[in-house]
Chains A and B, each alone.
Chain A
Amino acid sequence: MTQTTDGALAVNEAAVTTRRRFDPARLLQDQGLIVVVLIFGLVLSLLSPTFLTPTNLMNLLLQASTLGVMALGMTFVIIGAGIDLSVGGIPAIVSVLAVGLVVRGELPVWFALVVAIGVGIVVGLANGFAITKLGIAPLIATLGTLSITIGLAFAYSGGTSIVPVPDFYNLLRRANMFGIPINIIILAVLAVVTHFVLTRTTFGRSLYAVGGNRQAAEMAGIRTNRVILFTYVISAVAASIAGILFTARLASGSPQTGIGIELTVIAAVVIGGTSLFGGRGNVLGTVLGAVLITMVTNAINLLGVPTAWDRVLLGVVIVIAALLDVFRLRIHERWMSRKAS
Chain B
Amino acid sequence: MRRCASAWRARWLRCDGAAVSEWWTYTPADFLMFAPRIYWRLFETLNRQTWPAALLAPAAGVAWLLWVARDAARPGAGAARLAAVALALAWAAVALGFLLPLLAPIHWLAAYVAPAFGLQAALLVALAAFGGLQATASPRRRQAGLALLVYALLLHPLWPLLEGRPWTQAEAFGLAPDPTALATLGMLLLCRATTASGRVLGRVAWAVPLAWCALSAATLWTMGSAQGWALAAGALLALAAGSRRGL
Tell me whether A and B are bound partners. no
